[in-house]
């Protein structure tokens, strides 16, 4: 469970940055809540508050529909920083 250590601190990153609206085109904002395989991270790992988690979920699903982020990532395509290949 090495992945857990990254999310030790429990605070909402979006509240901290006073984000009121999460744009589906703003991948830098979305990546806080995406795993390296573009899955939505659960709230218990990211520490997002309920309000922001819901905003993030909607934004990510919109981003998937507009092909900004993939639905699934092939095993061999998993890289250290998945956002290098985006755009
Ligand atoms: Zn929040």
Q: Where are the domains of the chain?
A: 2-68
Instruction: Give Cα 28 to chain centroid, integer Å.
Output: 9
10 CA to centre of ligand 1 in angstroms: 11
Segment 37-59 shows an average pLDDT of 91
Selected residue with higher pLDDT from 29 and 57: 57
pTM: 0.73
Residue whose C-alpha is closest to residue 40's, from 72, 8, 67, 65:
72
74 CA to centre of ligand 1 in angstroms: 31
CATH number of 2-68: 4.10.640.10
pLDDT tens track for 70-80: 888 876 656 56
Angle at 44 between CA 46 and CA 15, to 5 degrees: 45
Segment 56-68 shows an average pLDDT of 94
For residue 85, name the pLDDT band (cuts at 50, 70, 90).
Answer: low
33 CA to centre of ligand 1 in angstroms: 12
Per-residue confidence (pLDDT) for residue 32, from 0 to 100: 82
Mean pLDDT taken over the chain? 81
């Amino acid at each position: 469970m090495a992945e857990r250590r990254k999310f030790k601190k429990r605070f909402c990153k979006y509240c901290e940055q006073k984000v009121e609206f999460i744009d589906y085109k703003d991948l830098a904002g979305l990546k806080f809540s995406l795993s390296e395989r573009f899955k939505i991270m659960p709230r218990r790992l990211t520490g997002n508050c309920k309000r922001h988690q819901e905003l993030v979920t909607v934004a990510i699903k919109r981003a998937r529909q507009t092909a900004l982020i993939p639905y699934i990532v092939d095993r061999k395509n998993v890289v250290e920083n998945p956002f290098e290949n985006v755009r």
